Structure formats: structure tokens, C-alpha cells
Amino acid sequence: MRSRLAGTLVPAVGVILVLAMPFMTTDRYLFKVLTFVGLNLIVVAGLALLFGYAGQISLGHAAFFGIGAYTAGYLTGEAAVPWLVATLVAALLAALVGFVLSLPMLRLKGHYLAMATLGFSEIMTVLFIEARGITGGNDGLRGIPYPSLGSFKIDTPSGVYLLVWITAIVVLVLAANLVRTRPGRALRALHGAELGAQACGIDTGRLRVQVFALSAGLAGLAGALYASAVGFISPTTFSLEFSVLLVAMVVLGGTGSVTGPVVACVLLTLLPYVDALVPGLPREVVSFLQDWEADIAGIVMILVLLFAPGGVAGLLRRSPRVGEAE
Amino acid sequence: MKTRRRVVAAALVAMLMVTTVAGCSSKGSSGSATGEGSAEPYRIGAIVSLSGSYAGLGTPEQKAIEMEMKRINDAGGINGRQVEVIFEDDATDPAKAQAAVARLLEQENVIAVIGATGTSQTMALRDDIDRAGVPQVSMAGGSVITAEFDKNVFQTPWPNRIVVPFTLKALKDRGLVNVAVISDTGGYGKDGHDLILKDADTAGVKIVADETFNPGDTDMTAQLTKIKAASPDVVLMWNAGKEAAIVAKNIKQLGMSVPLVGSPGNGRREFIEGAGDAAEGFRFAAGKILVPEAYGEGTPAFEVAQKFIADYSFAYGVAPDIFAGHAFDAFLVVTDALKRVEGEATPASLRDAIEATDGLVGVGGTFAYSPEDHNGLTEEELVFYRVDGATWVLDK
């Protein structure tokens, strides 16, 4: 009983805190940093389903993020398509690419699947650089307009922050509920034992395609929001480095949970921006964290795999549940 | 079970903190320095490429600015206030440059931004600079920076629209009329490439081949083989990154005897070191700082350059290159304007003061900005160089 109460109370307090933020501070930089956290949360929600429940590793989600960003950036900036339409098209296109990509990958598992997504990510990086007519090549796309609905324009850091975080909360609630539904239980079964899941009458192939497309679509949605929030995109943002960071968040977060990856995502995203949260922090500390961001993430990941394979989720869990391999 | 988890969690946190604290003293690419001063210092942001393809440009830029900042602060600062420059490394990446400017503008509240090192990186800052209304002085040479006019953006190097016609004329004068172009697809290379194609007819040269490569590429043999087949009189290379040395080496490896001519972006020591033998005979146009006699002895520009070269050589044990000069000029433009601002300096009043710069003698030339022209240099400032014995000499 107590744990159920805590289970609803903690997220509720979190949501209220998030929404009350614009009334508590006017620090533009803080909003910008928190916007990045919200964007990563949207991607991580999809990856948590893919990795934590379906047990599939993707090293290509930065590419889906990029597809969303370039689609939205090109449509709103160059083609003057309304923002909402462009954002939806961007998310759908990323999901479609994810769907098509996952069809041949159905036969792949484990390392082989990871290699295939890695290959896809590299192909997309080249495409982002070479498709200059759309992406602007190495110089990137400039002047992407702020989000707007009709004549209402969201052009303040706090407005963009709210837009991103409301989207992230909706996505997270849906993801958390999805795992309690029939497809969600099927996902867990898939993670536990694919043969067993098949024996229970689950169409595992179809399920894997669906969850891959869903996570790709969420990455595309986050990319589209990123493009309009930042106003400038260029290929290096969508490189393998970002994909690996996303996987680190999910691994650090732990499997079979949405809360764990959320906590890990917030921590890892804030790492290079601690100066936004801790005023008066010496600049040397900040620049050290920025320089060593990848190293710290890597060390933490190794330590987690060695000592706490359950990740944040494992540490949060009060007692080991049945069905969780520890 | 539970206790073990707690211990592990505590160990994780402890480890993270230890690595963080231990590293603080050992590594840190960006930093700042201030002297004593009662009033709040003037805070200026600087975005330079300290890693990536333009690291060889950004590093001397940072050194030149740090040296001048120290000199001014030791002499009592400006208007009795110290000057504090906050450096950010953009890693030659437009996306990182954009993230850096957001930090400088919104977290550090700088009144001016110097940078960036490269053209793409400079352009990536524009949206944020415009929204904040803070003046920006770029050290990159793409024409687009001031041709796509922005009231907040100024530029210290000679832009491609001046250098390209000057270079093409120099080729024509030397009888090198069949020109093969190889350029990178980054901002500066593309900017120069487009101008070369546009100005070729006027200059009386013929473009016989036109090849490109991406920043970060490690082999240009394929493009150069095509160029070789076109049998040009000269290969004209337009880029500023470290890939220039690879082009020079590939030309030598392919046994091509055709001369190689480049852009001011190649006037860097790393190019000579990287290309070795292949750099000999390489020619390019740039300002006069590499061979100061070109200023004409006794002229005000010669005096400024001589002092800068002496200070820089004394501080760092090596003579400054053109990029150190661009940074010296950018810092000079900002500090000179700060002296002229009446009342409290704000980004807006500083911008107006920078635009009113007139007859300011720097290393790259004499700067005179106006509401229509935020570069203000002419081809009078340029000379043609040749690499001879691993150093630069004038190519008459």
C-alpha cells in the first residue's frame, strides 16, 4: 500500500515541480538546459521500451533524432509548413524509417542488431552531410523558426521549456502505462525468453517491429522539437556519440523500468551543465566536466555493469521481484 | 542484499567525485583570468576552435587574446576596470559553437563575443547574437559573414570577396590560366569556391576542374587524379583546415609537378609542418604580418605589427601567424570601442562604438567600419607569399 502511494505521489510531485518552474525562476540558461533534459527524456522513453523491455540495443537513435530534426527544420524553415504539421510529419517519417529498417533486422539479435543500427547511423551521418540541398551540409540549417500554432508563437526559453516538458510527461505517462497493458506484458515476455513468448502465442516478430518503430518515432519527435527550440542544426549533433550517450542512459537506468532510465537521463544530461544548477561553481570544474563528459559516462557505465547490473532501477527497487535476473 | 546495494551506490558517487576533483587541476581547456580591480570587470566571451580541424588556428588566437588581456589589465584596465575574457572551445563544430554562445550570453552575461575561428561556426552564432543584441567580432574569412549583413556582426580578416580576385589576378600575372579548383565543403571553402567560379571570367582565367572534399577527410587522391587528368597549369585549393597538408602530400605522391596555390587559411605553421617537403613552393595571398617589411618600415602599421610580433615571440617563443593577428585585431576592435563608450557600457552602446571605428591601425590592416560595411578592408592589405625553406617569403 505504502509503495503504491509513493508510486503515484513521487511522479505527481515531479510533474508539479516541472510545471511550476517558470514561476520560480527567470534564468534563461536554466530553461535552455532543462529543455535539453526534456528532449532526451522523450528519446529515452522510447529506448527504455526497446532496450529495457524488448531487450533490443540500438546504436542508431541519434540518426532518428536527426531525421526528425532535419525534416522539421526543412519543412518549417525552407518550405514554410505550419509547425504542428511539420513536427507530426517529422515524427511519422522517423517512425516509418524505423519500421522499414526493422523489417530486415528481424532476423538479427544482440550484437548483430547493434551492428546493423550502427551501420544505419553511419549511413545517415553521411546523408546529413551530403544532402546539401535539404540539410545545408556541414554548415547546417540556420534560421529554423520557433514553435507556433497559428499566430501564437512560443519564442521564450520558458515557453519552449514548457512545450518540451509537457510533451515529455505525456510520452512518459503513456510509456509507463503501455508496459502494464497486454502488449507491454508481451514485451516483457520477449525480453525474458523469446521462445517462451512465442510458445505463449505472442507474435514476437511483429512486436519487435512495432516497438522499434515506436521508439524511432519518439526520437524523431524529440529531434523535431530540438530543431525548433534551438533554431540551428548541423550533422555532428546526430552522430554516434549521441547514440552511445542515449544507450548509456538506458543501461545506467536499468532494465524493466521507466523510472530508472528517467533518473539516469536527467543525471547524464545535466552533467556538462552543472553550472546552470549550482551558481558560483568554479569555471574550472565546469570545463573539466565538459571535457571529460564522455569519459565519466563511460566509467559510470562500466561500474554499473560490474557492480550493479540492475542500474538505477535495481537500486530503487525495494525488494528483488520475481522474474528479474540479478 | 540491500546493504550491498547502498555500498555500491555510495562507492559510485564517491568515485565520480574523486575523478572530478582530481582532474580539476590537471585538465581544463577553457578558463579566464582577471587581475585586481575594484569595479566589476568587463566580461567578453571568446569562441575559438581549440580542437578539431581548426585547432591550429584557434590556439594562436587564444594566445594572442590572453596576451593582450594581460597587457591591458597590468596597465590598469579600461576606464579603470579590468577586462575578463571567457574562452569556449567549439571543437570546429557549428553545433558546439552555438551551444557555447548560448552559455556565454545567458550564463556569463558577456557584453561582446569574439569569434568564432571558422566561418560555419561564426554563422551558427547568428540567431543567438541577434536575439541577444550583443556585438560579435568574427576572426573568420568567409565573405558571407559580412555580405549577409547583420548590424551586430563585424569581421577582422580579409574576406574572400577581396582575397579571391586578388589571388586570381596573381595567377593570371604568373601565366597560370588553366586553374583546377579543390575546396572543402565547409563554410570558408564553399564561400571561396563560389567566388572563384564567379570571378574567373573577369580575372581572365579558365576553370578546368572543380573538386571538393569534406572537413575531416583523410585522402584526396581520387579528386586529385581527376584534376591530374584535366592537366591544369595550377591547382587552387580553398580551405582553412588541417586537410590542406593532405592535399599537398597527395599531389606529391601522385607525381604531379603542377604548382599548388592556396588561401590565407593555409598561412599556418601546421601546414608547413604537416606537409613537409610537399609544402615547398606553395603560394597563397594573405596580410603582411608574416613578413612585416611588407608594411613599409616606419608606417604606423609596421610599428603596431613589430610590437605585436616582439611581444608574442617573447611570450610564446614563436612568431605569430595571421590567425594570432586576426585575434589581436578582434580584441583591439572591442577594447578600442570600450574606451570610446560614454557612460555605462551596454551591448547596444558597445555595438554603436564598434561601428564608429575609424582609422584603427591593427595587424591585418587599418579598420574603418560603417553602417554599410562591417569589414572595411581592401586588397591593399594583401601580399603574395611562397613557402621557401620551411618559412614564408614574399613571392614577387
Residue B272 lies in a domain: yes
Q: What is the number of structural domains in chain A?
A: 1
Note whether A48 and A179 are within 8 A (CB).
no
Closest by CA to B158, choosing from B290, B310, B287, is B287
For A14, A48, A219, the CA distances from A254, given in Å and listed in that order, are: 20, 9, 19
Q: Average pLDDT by consecutive 10-residue portion of chain A (326 residues)?
A: 66 85 82 91 93 85 96 93 96 96 81 89 92 85 88 88 94 88 81 80 84 95 94 87 89 84 90 78 78 82 83 70 43
Do B262 and B316 lie in one domain? The reply is no
CA distance B380 to chain A (A): 30
Note whether A224 and A72 are within 8 A (CB).
yes
Given a cut of 90, whether residue B39 has pLDDT beyond it is: no
For B325-380, write each residue's pLDDT tens digit: 999 999 999 999 999 998 889 999 999 999 999 989 999 889 999 999 998 888 88
Closest by CA to B356, choosing from B344, B381, B339, is B339
Residue A170 lies in a domain: yes
Q: Could you say which residues from 42 to 101 on chain B have a Cβ atom under 8 Å away from some Cβ of chain A?
A: 86, 93-96, 98
CA distance B51 to chain A (A): 11
Do B231 and B168 lie in one domain? The reply is yes
Residue B392 lies in a domain: no
Do B60 and B115 lie in one domain? The reply is yes
End of a domain among B235, B258, B286?
A: B286
Angle between helical axes of A28-47 and A157-178 (0-180°, round to 10): 20
Give the C-alpha separation, A132 to A130, whole Å. Answer: 5
Given a cut of 60, whether residue B34 has pLDDT beyond it is: no
Contact B127 A137 (CB under 8 A): no
Q: What is the pLDDT of residue B1?
A: 45
Residue A317 lies in a domain: no
Closest by CA to A315, choosing from A226, A229, A231, A253, is A253
Altogether, the residues listed in chain A come to a count of 326
Given a cut of 90, whether residue B154 has pLDDT beyond it is: yes
Full strand arrangement of the beta sheet holding B112-115:
B83-89, B42-48, B112-115, B136-138, B153-155
Give the C-alpha separation, A41 to A201, whole Å. Answer: 33
Residue A184 lies in a domain: yes
Total Cβ atoms within 10 A of residue B39: 10
Contact B95 A29 (CB under 8 A): no
End of a domain among B253, B286, B319?
A: B286
Residue A311 lies in a domain: no
Contact A139 B187 (CB under 8 A): yes
Residue B354 lies in a domain: yes
For B182-206, write each residue's pLDDT tens digit: 999 888 999 999 999 999 999 999 9
Give the C-alpha separation, A236 to A221, whole Å. Answer: 19
Contacts of B102 in chain A (CB under 8 A): 29, 32
Given a cut of 50, whether residue B177 has pLDDT beyond it is: yes
- pLDDT level of residue B7 (50, 70, 90 thresholds): low
Residues B60-71: what's their mean pLDDT? 96
User: What grid cell was written down for B358?
Assistant: 575609424
CA distance B274 to chain A (A): 24
Do B153 and B173 lie in one domain? The reply is no
Do B145 and B128 lie in one domain? The reply is yes
Q: What is the number of structural domains in chain B?
A: 2
Do B144 and B205 lie in one domain? The reply is no
CA distance B114 to chain A (A): 19
For A231, B42, B298, the CA distances from B301, given in Å and listed in that order, are: 41, 27, 8
Give the C-alpha separation, A283 to A281, whole Å. Answer: 6
Q: What is the pLDDT of residue A275?
A: 75
Q: What is the ipTM of this complex?
A: 0.72
- DSSP assignment of B234-292 equals EEEEE--STHHHHHHHHHHHTT----EEE-GGG-SHHHHHHHGGGGTT-EEEE-GGGSG
Do B181 and B154 lie in one domain? The reply is no
- pLDDT level of residue B41 (50, 70, 90 thresholds): very high
Do B178 and B253 lie in one domain? The reply is yes
Give the C-alpha separation, B198 to B195, whole Å. Answer: 5
Q: What does R_g of chain B's alpha carbons equal in angstroms?
A: 22
- Exposure string (b/e) for A231-259, b if CB count within 10 Å is 16 or more? bbbbbbbbbeebbbbbbbbbbbbbbbbbb
E runs forming strands in chain B: 42-48, 83-89, 112-115, 136-138, 153-155, 178-184, 206-213, 234-238, 260-262, 283-286, 360-361, 366-367, 383-388, 391-394
CA B248 to chain CA centroid, nearest Å: 21
Give the C-alpha separation, B165 to B378, whole Å. Answer: 11
Given a cut of 80, whether residue B6 has pLDDT beyond it is: no
Angle between helical axes of A110-130 and A240-253 (0-180°, round to 10): 140
Please tell me the pTM assigned to this model.
0.81
Given a cut of 60, whether residue B47 has pLDDT beyond it is: yes
* Percent with pLDDT over 90 in chain B: 65
Nearest-CA residue of chain A relative to B19? A296
Q: Is B126 on the interface with A (CB under 8 A)?
A: yes
CATH number of the domain to which B127 belongs: 3.40.50.2300
**B123-132, B173-182, B194-203, range with the lowest pLDDT:** B123-132
Altogether, the residues listed in chain B come to a count of 396
3-state secondary structure of B28: coil
Give the C-alpha separation, A246 to A58, whole Å. Answer: 9
User: What grid cell was written down for B201?
Assistant: 571570367
Q: Is B332 on the interface with A (CB under 8 A)?
A: no
- pLDDT level of residue B9 (50, 70, 90 thresholds): low
Q: What is the pLDDT of residue A2?
A: 52
CB-based burial of residue B179 (10 Å sphere; 0-12 exposed, 13-18 middle, 19+ buried)? buried
Residue A110 lies in a domain: yes
Do B194 and B142 lie in one domain? The reply is no
Contacts of B11 in chain A (CB under 8 A): 307
3-state secondary structure of B138: strand
Residue A244 lies in a domain: no
Q: Which domain holds residue B258?
A: 161-286
- DSSP assignment of A97-153 equals HHHHHHHHHTT--HHHHHHHHHHHHHHHHHHHHH-HHHH-GGG-B--PPPPEETTEE
Q: Which domain holds residue A48?
A: 27-238
